[in-house]
Amino acid sequence: MKLQRGQVTVVTGAASGIGLALAVRFASAGLSIVLADAEVERLASAEATVRSQGVEALSVQTDVSKAESMQALAKAAVARFGAVDIVCNNAGVSTLGDPWFGPLSAWQWVMDVNFWGVVHGCRAFLPILMEGGGGHIINTASIAGLVPGTGPAYDASKHAVVAISEDLHHMMQMVGLPVGVSVVCPGWVHTSIVDADRNWPPELGERPQPNAGTSTIAGHYRKAVDNGLAPAAVADAVIDAVEYGRFWVFPQQEFLDLAVRRFNMIAERRDPTPADQIPGLPPRSQLDAEVRAALGLSTSS
Protein backbone atom coordinates (compact mmCIF):
# COMPACT_ATOMS: atom_id res chain seq x y z
CA MET A 1 0.00 0.00 0.00
CA LYS A 2 1.47 3.32 -1.04
CA LEU A 3 1.33 5.95 1.69
CA GLN A 4 0.11 9.32 0.46
CA ARG A 5 -0.74 12.68 1.95
CA GLY A 6 -4.46 12.90 2.59
CA GLN A 7 -4.79 9.35 3.86
CA VAL A 8 -6.00 8.82 7.42
CA THR A 9 -4.55 6.55 10.11
CA VAL A 10 -6.28 5.61 13.36
CA VAL A 11 -4.06 4.51 16.25
CA THR A 12 -5.27 3.12 19.57
CA GLY A 13 -3.01 3.33 22.59
CA ALA A 14 -1.64 6.41 20.87
CA ALA A 15 -0.73 8.47 23.93
CA SER A 16 2.60 6.77 24.55
CA GLY A 17 4.97 3.98 23.58
CA ILE A 18 4.52 2.15 20.30
CA GLY A 19 1.20 3.87 19.66
CA LEU A 20 2.68 7.36 19.81
CA ALA A 21 5.62 6.25 17.68
CA LEU A 22 3.22 4.89 15.05
CA ALA A 23 1.23 8.13 15.06
CA VAL A 24 4.37 10.23 14.62
CA ARG A 25 5.78 7.96 11.92
CA PHE A 26 2.60 7.97 9.84
CA ALA A 27 2.35 11.74 10.36
CA SER A 28 5.90 12.13 9.04
CA ALA A 29 4.65 10.52 5.81
CA GLY A 30 1.96 13.22 5.58
CA LEU A 31 -1.03 11.23 6.80
CA SER A 32 -3.73 12.69 9.03
CA ILE A 33 -3.90 10.96 12.40
CA VAL A 34 -6.73 9.97 14.73
CA LEU A 35 -5.28 9.27 18.17
CA ALA A 36 -7.24 7.12 20.63
CA ASP A 37 -6.32 6.42 24.24
CA ALA A 38 -7.83 6.18 27.71
CA GLU A 39 -5.42 8.75 29.23
CA VAL A 40 -6.73 12.24 28.51
CA GLU A 41 -3.69 14.31 29.51
CA ARG A 42 -1.19 12.12 27.68
CA LEU A 43 -3.51 12.06 24.69
CA ALA A 44 -3.54 15.86 24.47
CA SER A 45 0.26 15.93 24.59
CA ALA A 46 0.47 13.24 21.91
CA GLU A 47 -1.86 15.20 19.63
CA ALA A 48 0.36 18.26 19.97
CA THR A 49 3.39 16.14 19.07
CA VAL A 50 1.67 14.80 15.98
CA ARG A 51 0.46 18.22 14.88
CA SER A 52 4.06 19.44 15.05
CA GLN A 53 4.66 17.21 12.00
CA GLY A 54 2.47 19.59 10.01
CA VAL A 55 -0.55 17.28 9.65
CA GLU A 56 -4.13 17.30 10.88
CA ALA A 57 -4.88 15.33 14.02
CA LEU A 58 -7.87 14.37 16.12
CA SER A 59 -7.71 12.85 19.60
CA VAL A 60 -10.60 10.81 20.99
CA GLN A 61 -10.67 9.39 24.50
CA THR A 62 -11.44 5.74 23.94
CA ASP A 63 -11.91 2.57 25.95
CA VAL A 64 -10.99 -0.15 23.45
CA SER A 65 -12.53 -2.82 25.70
CA LYS A 66 -15.98 -1.41 24.96
CA ALA A 67 -17.53 -2.02 21.54
CA GLU A 68 -19.58 1.17 21.76
CA SER A 69 -16.47 3.23 22.50
CA MET A 70 -14.71 1.86 19.41
CA GLN A 71 -17.79 2.47 17.29
CA ALA A 72 -17.83 6.06 18.56
CA LEU A 73 -14.14 6.38 17.61
CA ALA A 74 -14.91 5.17 14.09
CA LYS A 75 -17.79 7.64 13.73
CA ALA A 76 -15.63 10.51 14.99
CA ALA A 77 -12.85 9.64 12.53
CA VAL A 78 -15.24 9.57 9.57
CA ALA A 79 -17.04 12.71 10.70
CA ARG A 80 -13.74 14.59 10.83
CA PHE A 81 -11.89 13.18 7.82
CA GLY A 82 -14.51 11.47 5.68
CA ALA A 83 -12.65 8.16 5.51
CA VAL A 84 -10.08 5.92 7.18
CA ASP A 85 -7.28 4.15 5.33
CA ILE A 86 -5.13 2.52 8.04
CA VAL A 87 -6.10 1.18 11.48
CA CYS A 88 -3.55 0.35 14.16
CA ASN A 89 -5.14 -1.76 16.90
CA ASN A 90 -2.26 -1.14 19.26
CA ALA A 91 -3.63 -0.59 22.78
CA GLY A 92 -2.39 -3.17 25.26
CA VAL A 93 -1.92 -3.77 28.97
CA SER A 94 -0.25 -6.22 31.32
CA THR A 95 -0.64 -7.03 34.99
CA LEU A 96 1.47 -8.57 37.71
CA GLY A 97 -1.61 -9.82 39.53
CA ASP A 98 -1.45 -13.47 40.58
CA PRO A 99 -3.09 -15.36 37.68
CA TRP A 100 -3.95 -18.56 39.56
CA PHE A 101 -4.74 -17.51 43.13
CA GLY A 102 -5.57 -13.83 42.70
CA PRO A 103 -8.84 -12.27 41.52
CA LEU A 104 -10.21 -13.19 38.10
CA SER A 105 -10.43 -9.48 37.29
CA ALA A 106 -6.73 -9.52 36.33
CA TRP A 107 -7.53 -11.91 33.48
CA GLN A 108 -10.66 -9.99 32.53
CA TRP A 109 -8.86 -6.65 32.20
CA VAL A 110 -6.00 -8.01 30.08
CA MET A 111 -8.33 -9.94 27.78
CA ASP A 112 -10.77 -7.02 27.53
CA VAL A 113 -8.07 -4.64 26.31
CA ASN A 114 -5.61 -6.87 24.46
CA PHE A 115 -8.04 -9.28 22.81
CA TRP A 116 -11.45 -7.63 22.71
CA GLY A 117 -9.86 -4.28 21.87
CA VAL A 118 -8.53 -5.79 18.63
CA VAL A 119 -11.85 -7.51 17.87
CA HIS A 120 -13.77 -4.27 18.44
CA GLY A 121 -11.29 -2.34 16.32
CA CYS A 122 -11.53 -4.73 13.38
CA ARG A 123 -15.32 -4.84 13.54
CA ALA A 124 -15.67 -1.06 13.84
CA PHE A 125 -13.34 -0.15 10.98
CA LEU A 126 -13.56 -3.00 8.45
CA PRO A 127 -16.82 -1.67 6.94
CA ILE A 128 -15.25 1.79 6.63
CA LEU A 129 -12.13 0.45 4.92
CA MET A 130 -14.23 -1.60 2.51
CA GLU A 131 -16.50 1.33 1.71
CA GLY A 132 -13.41 3.43 0.98
CA GLY A 133 -12.01 0.87 -1.44
CA GLY A 134 -9.44 -0.80 0.79
CA GLY A 135 -6.80 -0.09 3.37
CA HIS A 136 -4.66 -1.83 5.97
CA ILE A 137 -5.12 -3.14 9.52
CA ILE A 138 -2.16 -3.48 11.87
CA ASN A 139 -2.70 -5.48 15.07
CA THR A 140 -0.05 -5.21 17.77
CA ALA A 141 0.56 -8.61 19.31
CA SER A 142 3.91 -9.58 20.86
CA ILE A 143 6.49 -12.30 20.64
CA ALA A 144 4.47 -13.58 23.62
CA GLY A 145 1.84 -14.43 21.00
CA LEU A 146 4.20 -17.11 19.71
CA VAL A 147 6.39 -17.94 22.71
CA PRO A 148 4.72 -18.10 26.16
CA GLY A 149 6.66 -16.93 29.18
CA THR A 150 5.61 -13.37 29.97
CA GLY A 151 2.50 -14.22 32.01
CA PRO A 152 -0.57 -16.42 31.41
CA ALA A 153 -3.16 -13.71 30.75
CA TYR A 154 -0.84 -11.61 28.61
CA ASP A 155 0.42 -14.64 26.66
CA ALA A 156 -3.13 -15.88 26.06
CA SER A 157 -4.32 -12.48 24.84
CA LYS A 158 -1.40 -12.08 22.44
CA HIS A 159 -1.73 -15.63 21.09
CA ALA A 160 -5.35 -14.72 20.35
CA VAL A 161 -4.32 -11.55 18.53
CA VAL A 162 -1.93 -13.50 16.31
CA ALA A 163 -4.63 -16.07 15.53
CA ILE A 164 -7.41 -13.64 14.66
CA SER A 165 -5.02 -11.52 12.60
CA GLU A 166 -4.02 -14.55 10.53
CA ASP A 167 -7.67 -15.53 10.13
CA LEU A 168 -8.56 -12.01 9.01
CA HIS A 169 -5.65 -11.99 6.56
CA HIS A 170 -6.86 -15.24 5.00
CA MET A 171 -10.45 -14.01 4.85
CA MET A 172 -9.46 -10.83 3.03
CA GLN A 173 -7.48 -12.86 0.49
CA MET A 174 -10.22 -15.46 0.07
CA VAL A 175 -12.96 -12.95 -0.74
CA GLY A 176 -10.66 -10.67 -2.70
CA LEU A 177 -11.04 -7.57 -0.54
CA PRO A 178 -8.20 -5.02 -0.83
CA VAL A 179 -7.57 -4.82 2.91
CA GLY A 180 -4.06 -5.72 4.03
CA VAL A 181 -3.42 -7.17 7.48
CA SER A 182 -0.21 -7.14 9.52
CA VAL A 183 0.53 -8.48 12.99
CA VAL A 184 3.37 -6.97 15.03
CA CYS A 185 5.37 -9.34 17.26
CA PRO A 186 8.06 -7.36 19.08
CA GLY A 187 10.14 -8.49 22.02
CA TRP A 188 11.10 -6.01 24.71
CA VAL A 189 10.27 -2.42 23.74
CA HIS A 190 11.04 0.66 25.82
CA THR A 191 7.48 1.58 26.84
CA SER A 192 5.47 1.99 30.05
CA ILE A 193 3.77 -1.41 29.69
CA VAL A 194 5.09 -2.55 33.09
CA ASP A 195 3.08 0.27 34.68
CA ALA A 196 -0.04 -0.36 32.63
CA ASP A 197 -2.18 -0.90 35.72
CA ARG A 198 -2.09 2.86 36.30
CA ASN A 199 -5.19 2.67 34.08
CA TRP A 200 -6.89 -0.06 36.09
CA PRO A 201 -10.68 0.38 35.61
CA PRO A 202 -12.50 1.08 38.89
CA GLU A 203 -15.51 -0.97 37.79
CA LEU A 204 -13.41 -4.14 38.12
CA GLY A 205 -12.90 -3.51 41.81
CA GLU A 206 -9.62 -3.42 43.70
CA ARG A 207 -6.48 -3.60 41.60
CA PRO A 208 -4.91 -7.10 41.87
CA GLN A 209 -1.64 -7.20 43.76
CA PRO A 210 1.39 -9.27 42.77
CA ASN A 211 2.53 -12.15 44.90
CA ALA A 212 6.13 -12.60 46.02
CA GLY A 213 6.97 -14.56 42.88
CA THR A 214 5.61 -12.09 40.35
CA SER A 215 7.13 -9.22 42.30
CA THR A 216 10.53 -10.90 41.96
CA ILE A 217 10.19 -11.32 38.20
CA ALA A 218 8.84 -7.78 37.80
CA GLY A 219 12.26 -6.26 38.44
CA HIS A 220 13.81 -8.28 35.62
CA TYR A 221 10.94 -7.43 33.29
CA ARG A 222 11.27 -3.73 34.05
CA LYS A 223 15.00 -3.81 33.33
CA ALA A 224 14.42 -5.66 30.05
CA VAL A 225 11.77 -3.13 29.01
CA ASP A 226 13.96 -0.19 30.00
CA ASN A 227 16.73 -1.63 27.80
CA GLY A 228 14.31 -2.57 25.04
CA LEU A 229 14.01 -1.46 21.46
CA ALA A 230 13.00 2.15 20.82
CA PRO A 231 9.29 2.39 19.85
CA ALA A 232 10.32 4.36 16.75
CA ALA A 233 12.13 1.28 15.43
CA VAL A 234 8.92 -0.75 15.78
CA ALA A 235 7.03 1.99 13.92
CA ASP A 236 9.58 1.90 11.09
CA ALA A 237 9.10 -1.87 10.76
CA VAL A 238 5.32 -1.38 10.63
CA ILE A 239 5.57 1.24 7.90
CA ASP A 240 7.73 -1.13 5.88
CA ALA A 241 5.17 -3.91 6.31
CA VAL A 242 2.31 -1.68 5.18
CA GLU A 243 4.16 -0.42 2.12
CA TYR A 244 5.23 -3.90 1.02
CA GLY A 245 2.09 -5.74 2.09
CA ARG A 246 3.76 -7.99 4.67
CA PHE A 247 1.76 -9.87 7.28
CA TRP A 248 4.46 -10.65 9.85
CA VAL A 249 6.32 -7.82 11.57
CA PHE A 250 9.32 -8.93 13.66
CA PRO A 251 11.34 -5.86 14.68
CA GLN A 252 14.01 -7.97 16.47
CA GLN A 253 15.66 -10.94 14.80
CA GLU A 254 16.68 -12.54 18.11
CA PHE A 255 13.04 -12.91 19.14
CA LEU A 256 12.08 -14.37 15.78
CA ASP A 257 14.88 -16.89 16.32
CA LEU A 258 13.35 -17.71 19.70
CA ALA A 259 10.00 -18.43 18.05
CA VAL A 260 11.66 -20.62 15.42
CA ARG A 261 13.35 -22.69 18.13
CA ARG A 262 10.03 -23.17 19.89
CA PHE A 263 8.27 -24.34 16.74
CA ASN A 264 11.13 -26.72 15.99
CA MET A 265 10.52 -28.22 19.44
CA ILE A 266 6.84 -28.58 18.60
CA ALA A 267 7.70 -30.28 15.31
CA GLU A 268 9.87 -32.71 17.25
CA ARG A 269 7.00 -33.32 19.71
CA ARG A 270 9.21 -32.29 22.60
CA ASP A 271 7.55 -31.24 25.84
CA PRO A 272 7.73 -27.52 26.68
CA THR A 273 10.90 -26.66 28.54
CA PRO A 274 11.96 -23.49 30.35
CA ALA A 275 15.59 -24.05 29.41
CA ASP A 276 15.64 -21.69 26.44
CA GLN A 277 17.18 -18.29 27.12
CA ILE A 278 14.82 -15.35 26.59
CA PRO A 279 16.83 -12.39 25.30
CA GLY A 280 17.09 -9.62 27.88
CA LEU A 281 16.39 -11.82 30.91
CA PRO A 282 18.69 -13.77 33.23
CA PRO A 283 18.96 -17.54 32.63
CA ARG A 284 15.73 -19.37 33.41
CA SER A 285 17.47 -21.40 36.11
CA GLN A 286 18.29 -18.15 37.93
CA LEU A 287 14.73 -16.83 37.56
CA ASP A 288 13.28 -20.09 38.85
CA ALA A 289 15.62 -20.06 41.85
CA GLU A 290 14.73 -16.45 42.71
CA VAL A 291 10.99 -17.15 42.49
CA ARG A 292 11.27 -20.28 44.62
CA ALA A 293 13.22 -18.35 47.24
CA ALA A 294 10.66 -15.53 47.23
CA LEU A 295 7.85 -18.05 47.71
CA GLY A 296 9.73 -19.87 50.44
CA LEU A 297 10.02 -23.08 48.43
CA SER A 298 12.87 -25.54 48.52
CA THR A 299 15.30 -25.00 45.64
CA SER A 300 15.40 -28.75 45.11
CA SER A 301 11.65 -29.29 44.85
* Of 62, 171, 207, nearest in space to 121 by CA: 62
Query: Hey, which bits of 13-159 come out as E strands?
Result: 32-37, 57-61, 86-89, 135-140
List 125, 154, 188, 221, catalytic entry: 154
Taken in order of first residue, the domains within the chain and their CATH numbers are 8-264 (3.40.50.720)
- Which residues of the chain, if any, have pLDDT below 70? 274-276, 298-301
Round to whole Å and give the CA distance between 197 and 39: 12
154 catalytic residue (yes or no): yes
Backbone angles phi, psi at 210, to 5 degrees: -70, 155
Task: Please tell me the pTM assigned to this model.
Answer: 0.95
* Of 63, 36, 84, nearest in space to 199 by CA: 63
| pLDDT at site 239 | 98
Instruction: Pinpoint the alpha helices (H) of 52-100.
Output: 67-81
* Of 19, 63, 90, 37, nearest in space to 201 by CA: 63
| pLDDT at site 26 | 98
| pLDDT at site 210 | 85
| pLDDT at site 301 | 44
